[in-house]
């Protein structure tokens, strides 16, 4: 093994992690050429990495299709994360009760960079279900309720760093026109204490989300209830679901030792200047 002093061993470890990070719910199977292209890795370097990851059962190779996919060691690690994660534990009962009270599916999302990542869920018995696959990563700024709730209490500088140019909303087909309209949404979220996705991110998808805070008073997650917009038939149902989601998020926050004014909360990221 190359000595750590050269930095080569650490670079090799980083490249292995880069390879594992390429896989997602939207691209669970990739060829070596696709992986190399996404990471700009030389084929010889990638071949060595793939050989090690395959031998250690982190990925597997399908000779028929010529693709690599994550293997059972990833599942084992994911289970370790879920079973020992404070956030997952803190939200387990609140999410169970939210499913029982609302009759609708609910999800738990966290912020990773500018992405909203879905890490847990409860699935209803509704014939038509609306939810994102576990592990799916989507722009937090596309209008979805969870994304709004995750960044609404961030500092102005953090939000400015996260939000793209106006053209990005048009490229993804969002109903939101751009930064100005999205900032207005965030102001409304801070005023209400919860976020609404009124078909902003996709047609006939409505959702409500509320922030989960920990002992530092920062927003660490969001609990969201997504439903078909056609099932939201009255203002009373909107308020009912919003109250249920806020109750669940507040219970989860209490489990994480948050204390304080739940609606006012605290900014995330550096600085304390919230946008108006």
Residue-wise pLDDT for 132-169, tens only, equals 888 888 999 999 999 999 999 999 999 999 999 999 99
Kindly tell me if the per-residue pLDDT of 263 is higher than 50. yes
Which one is predicted more confidently, 89 or 268? Answer: 89
List b or e across 158-194, with b for residues whose CB sees 16 or more CB atoms inside 10 angstroms: bbeebbeeeebbeeeebebebbeebbebbeebbeebb
Q: Is the pTM of this model over 0.75?
A: no
**pLDDT over threshold 80, residue 266:** no
Residue 1 has pLDDT above 60, yes or no: no
Q: Which residues contact 87 (CB under 8 A, 6 or more apart)?
A: 108, 110, 119, 212, 220, 221, 256
Q: pLDDT (tens digit, 9 = 90+) per residue, 222-239?
A: 999 999 998 898 999 999
* Locus of tokens 């919860």: 194
| 183-192 pLDDT per residue, tens | 999 999 999 9
Q: pLDDT band for position 106 (50/70/90)?
A: very high
What average pLDDT does range 192-211 have in this prediction? 93
Q: Looking up tokens 């597997």, which residue turns up?
A: 60
Contact 244, 102 (CB under 8 A): yes
> What's the pLDDT score for residue 262?
59
Domains of the chain: 4-74 (1.10.10.10), 85-255 (3.30.450.40)
265 φψ region: left (φ > 0), alpha (ψ -120 to 50), beta (else): left
Query: Tens digits of per-residue pLDDT, 110-136?
Result: 999 999 999 999 999 887 777 788 888
The predicted structure's pLDDT at residue 131: 74
DSSP 204: T
**Beta 137-139 vs 67-70: how paired, if at all?**
unpaired
What is the helix, strand, coil percentage profile of the chain, to 5?
45, 20, 35
Distance, CA of 251 to CA of 106 (rounded, Å): 15
Average pLDDT over residues 17-28: 89
CB count, 10 Å around CB of 267? Answer: 20
């Amino acid at each position: 093994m190359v000595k750590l002093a050269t930095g080569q061993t650490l670079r090799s470890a980083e490249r292995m992690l880069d390879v594992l990070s390429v896989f997602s719910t939207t691209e669970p199977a990739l060829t070596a050429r696709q992986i190399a292209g996404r990471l700009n890795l030389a084929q010889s370097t990638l071949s060595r990495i793939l050989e090690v990851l395959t031998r250690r059962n982190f990925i597997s190779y399908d000779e028929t299709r010529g693709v690599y996919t994550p293997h059972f060691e990833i599942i084992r690690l994911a289970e370790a994360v879920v079973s020992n994660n404070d956030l997952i534990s803190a939200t387990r009962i609140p999410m169970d009760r939210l499913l029982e009270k609302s009759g609708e599916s609910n999800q738990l999302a966290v912020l990773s960079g500018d992405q909203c990542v879905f890490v847990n869920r409860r699935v209803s018995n509704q014939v038509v279900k609306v939810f994102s696959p576990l592990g799916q990563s989507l722009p937090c700024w596309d209008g979805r309720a969870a994304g709004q709730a995750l960044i609404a209490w961030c500092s102005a500088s953090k939000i400015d760093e996260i939000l793209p140019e106006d053209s990005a909303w048009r490229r993804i087909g969002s109903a939101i026109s751009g930064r100005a309209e999205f900032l207005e949404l965030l102001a409304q979220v801070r005023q209400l204490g919860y976020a609404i996705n009124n078909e902003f991110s996709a047609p006939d998808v409505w959702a409500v989300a509320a922030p989960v805070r920990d002992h530092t008073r920062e927003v660490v997650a969001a609990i969201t209830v997504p439903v078909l917009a056609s099932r939201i038939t009255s203002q009373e149902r909107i308020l009912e679901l919003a109250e249920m989601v806020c109750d669940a998020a507040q219970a989860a926050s209490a489990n994480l030792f948050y204390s304080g004014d739940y609606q006012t909360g605290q900014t995330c990221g550096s600085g304390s200047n919230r946008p108006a």
